[in-house]
Every structure is written in structure tokens, then in C-alpha cells.
Amino acid sequence: MAHREYDPSEKNNLFNNIYLSLKQDILWLRLKPGTLLTEAYLADKFEISKTPIREALMRLSYDGLVTIFPRKGYCVSEISFSDIQDMHEYRYILENTCLSKVIDSATEEELEHLDSLSYSDRVVYRDEEPLFSKEPSNKERDSEFHIYLAEMAGNRIIYNQLVDVLEKLQRPMLCVAEKEYMTRGLDEHHQLVELIRARDLSAAQSLLRGHINEVYEHCARISTISKLF
């Protein structure tokens, strides 16, 4: 199949869309850890030249989601148990900082919106087949409750770091998600809002620690994500 070369004026938008589409397929486990990818295969799927494909794969490699094998191709990265542990520890540091910042400053309007997100995290997470779409979905971000809590804290660097670590944790979290466990976790979101409303920092920190630890304990059932596939 002949692939059209893109016009320079649309280069950035095309690269960004392909990057986001592949990233969503990886984060939502439509492209599973260990999946081999080639520029030719993806160029055929996206019906485009190899140049934006190569750029998107390089960006995904920088994100830690793709591993490059020189002269061979690319592979969807695995996640080690040590990575899971380190990311959960970092996640708690970031979210605990956010909690400390908002406990005395959160407005009722912000708390009402945060509470409205208490049950918004999806329980049905993924389709089985990759999308390979040049127009990626803008509705696939998970953990909206935690992300808005970081937004309330008002520190852009912490916000960006938390979004990044939650994205990296999404794959192991999806692998171990169970309906009963997810429902309990969403209930804890509402409880956390009530503790913030009561300005009870100690109890809120304890609940947050337990909330994050439970996610970690579920993820700790495995030593590497690839063993699930």
C-alpha cells in the first residue's frame, strides 16, 4: 500500500495524534507488554509514511512505554515489580503533598466537584483490539478524582508529575482490578472528600495511605506484568 507523505503544516498534529493513539493502546492494554512493533506494520495500520511513526515510537521510548531494539524494531515495555513499588511510593508523596495543601484552602464548590468525581473512575477498562486511530479518543483518562485533587493544590509541577505516575501505574492497576475492590476504592474517594471538608488532615492522610497501599498490594501479586499474558 502506498502511503501519502504528510504536509509540513500538519506534521506536529499528525505526530501528536499517532503518539496519543499508540499511548492509549498501550496504557489500556490493547497493546500488551511484550508486543512487538515495527515501523512498516504501524505505517500500514495508520496508512501513513514511516516518519511520523518513527517519531511517535521514539517519544514513547522516552516515556518508558516502548523499548527500542536497534535494527530489529520496537517492543511494548514490561513493568517490573520494583517499578510498581517505586511508583506507588512516589504517588503517595505527591498526593499527600496535595492533600496537605488543600486541607485548609478547598472551597465548597471545589469539594462538591471533587465529590462528583468520587465514582467516575471506570470499572470496564479496555477493549481487546488496538485502535490504531489517527484521531485518538479524548475520553480515556482514568483517575479523574486524584487528578482533580492535584489541580486543587495549584502546583503545576506536582500536577504534571502525578498525571505521569498515574499513567505509568495504569497498566498494572488494570491487570489486577476486581469489581468488589474497585467499588470499595471509589467509596473511599467520597470518604476522603468528607475528611477534607472536616479539615481532618491526620485522618485524611491515613485514609489516603491505606487507599494507595491497597492498590499496591493488589499489584504486588505479580512480579512482572508480562506473566499475565
What pLDDT, on the 0 to 100 scale, is given for residue 3? 42
What global pTM score does this model have?
Answer: 0.81
Q: Which of these, 75, 86, 68, lies nearest to 165 by C-alpha position?
A: 86
What residue type is 125 in one-letter code?
A: Y
- HEC string of 162-228 equals HHHHHHHHHHHHHHHCCHHHHHHHHHHHHHHHHHHHCCCHHHHHHHHHHHHHHHHHHHCCCCEHHHH
* CATH code for the structural domain at 9-76: 1.10.10.10
Which stretches does DSSP call E strand in 58-183?
66-69, 73-76
Q: pLDDT (tens digit, 0 to 9) for every residue of the chain, 229 residues total? A: 344 444 444 557 888 999 999 999 999 889 999 999 999 999 999 999 999 999 999 999 999 999 999 888 899 998 888 888 899 999 999 999 999 999 999 999 999 999 999 876 654 455 678 888 888 776 656 688 999 999 999 999 999 999 999 988 888 887 766 555 566 778 899 999 999 999 999 999 999 999 998 888 877 765 545 455 4
Grid cell, residue 148, equals 482533580
What pLDDT, on the 0 to 100 scale, is given for residue 130? 86
CA distance 110 to 106: 6
**Class of 81-221 in CATH:** mainly alpha
Count CB-CB contacts under 10 A for residue 136: 19
Domain chopping of the chain, boundaries: 9-76, 81-221
